[in-house]
Amino acid sequence: MKEKLVVIVGPTAVGKTKLGVELAKQLNGEIISGDSMQIYKGMDIGTAKVSKREMEGIRHYLIDIKSPTESFSVAEFQHLVKPLVTEINEKGKLPLIVGGTGLYVNSVIYDYHFPDVPTDLEYRQTLEAYVQEHGTIKLHEKLRNIDPISYETIHPNNYRRVIRALEVYHVTKKTIHDYQQNQPTESRYDVVMIGLTMDRQLLYDRINKRVDIMIEDGLIEEARKLYENGVKNCQSVQAIGYKEIYEYIEGQMSLEEAVDLLKRNSRRYAKRQLTWFRNKMDIDWFELTETNFNEKKQEIQKFIEERLKKKRNYIV
């Protein structure tokens, strides 16, 4: 029999963290973070990392496991998560993956096989030098003609993934998408996939407000500490929330401009997330408002219980 698994995805600021904790309390669950940035120590505010208080005693995994100078990949995420799903199931608990990094989550659900493409160190160094001279946007443009799908799905700020996509094509003459086309299409788990959505304008207002709260809570100071500790040109600080503040710290723009850019980039990211989830994942969607959280929580809990019971006579 397949192991059971619940997945909760959705755009940034929609309310995944809160719902995940509430469901874990009701369903005897433990939470695996499906966020590619909350793994980094010392990057709490800009990643909207779940706090100890917000965890409400629920065990969380893959939080604060990496130094911000270290890299992290989808293959590594998969390698860490699969045994955790088994461990939580063996304890008689329900594993819930909660997060917004869709490719990472899919890699676990469908047990993706990653191409064993060797590194071309000379070519990679050439691309890294190109980034330093021309910036991440220009590097990203290199993907447009050779791998338009990766061009659309990989954010320019995630330049290490852009470099890897270019490197894979350079070495094999195949795109990352070509490899993904041959991935398994049946889940290795008895999985229930929940998607949270929200009226677009309401979501954007929540994103803008979240950024304002991040600034009030000390995002500038958090980013400055990372910067002064030498965390530069790393995968971690290319993320939305840090890249913009770094540009302010380096005097490239005013604080007001950096905050406006952060809000805009976050809204665009949310839009890309929704597009990715709708196109790449088989999800049951639930729409949240500012006032229906408790109602939807109960509806989603009942949905999960019924779906798991139907799959394998599992009684929560």
Domain housing 145: 121-180
CA 242/CA 245 separation, integer angstroms: 5
Contact 219, 241 (CB under 8 A): yes
311 pLDDT above the threshold of 70: no
Contact 26, 1 (CB under 8 A): no
pLDDT digit string, tens, across residues 196-222: 999 999 999 999 999 999 999 999 999
Q: Which residue has the tokens 């990715």?
A: 276
Q: Token pair for residue 316?
A: 């929560």
For residues 86-99, average pLDDT? 97
Shared-domain flag, residues 197 and 60: yes
CATH number at residue 10: 3.40.50.300
Shared-domain flag, residues 205 and 298: yes
CA 291/CA 119 separation, integer angstroms: 51
CATH number at residue 125: 1.10.20.140
**DSSP 8-class letter at 206:** H
Shared-domain flag, residues 158 and 235: no
Phi, psi angles (nearest 5°) of residue 80: -80, -35
Residue 127 binned pLDDT confidence (cut-offs 50, 70, 90): very high
Shared-domain flag, residues 202 and 278: yes
pLDDT digit string, tens, across residues 10-63: 999 999 999 999 999 999 999 999 999 999 999 999 999 999 999 999 999 999
pLDDT digit string, tens, across residues 268-303: 999 989 998 998 889 999 999 999 999 999 999 999
Among 180, 208, 228, the domain boundary falls at 180
**Cβ-based neighbours of 81, under 8 Å, separated by 6 or more:** 32, 62, 97, 108
**DSSP 8-class letter at 238:** G
Structurally, the chain folds into a number of domains equal to 2
Among 180, 199, 225, the domain boundary falls at 180
Q: Token pair for residue 207?
A: 């994103």
For residues 162-166, average pLDDT? 91
End-to-end CA, the chain: 17
Shared-domain flag, residues 156 and 48: no
Among 180, 202, 221, the domain boundary falls at 180
Residue 312 binned pLDDT confidence (cut-offs 50, 70, 90): low
Shared-domain flag, residues 229 and 274: yes
Shared-domain flag, residues 213 and 301: yes
* Pairwise pLDDT comparison (157 vs 4), residue with the higher score: 4
Shared-domain flag, residues 73 and 215: yes
What share of the chain has pLDDT > 90, as a percent? 73
Shared-domain flag, residues 125 and 242: no
Please give the mean pLDDT across all residues of the chain.
Answer: 92
Give me the half-sphere count of Cα atoms (radius 13 Å) on the Cβ side of residue 266: 27
CA 312/CA 314 separation, integer angstroms: 5
For residues 2-6, average pLDDT? 96
pLDDT digit string, tens, across residues 231-241: 998 889 988 99
CA 76/CA 316 separation, integer angstroms: 31
| Beta pairing partners, 31 | 60, 96
pLDDT (0 to 100) of residue 96: 98
pLDDT (0 to 100) of residue 185: 74
CA 49/CA 187 separation, integer angstroms: 28
Shared-domain flag, residues 214 and 282: yes
Shared-domain flag, residues 67 and 198: yes
Q: Token pair for residue 23?
A: 């469901």
Count of C-beta atoms within a 10 Å radius of residue 67:
13
Shared-domain flag, residues 92 and 165: no
CA 162/CA 39 separation, integer angstroms: 20
Helices (H), 182-233: 200-217, 219-228
Residue 158 binned pLDDT confidence (cut-offs 50, 70, 90): confident
pLDDT (0 to 100) of residue 16: 97
CA 95/CA 4 separation, integer angstroms: 7
Contact 54, 17 (CB under 8 A): yes
Q: Which residue type, as a one-letter code, is found at position 76?
A: E
Residues in the chain: 316
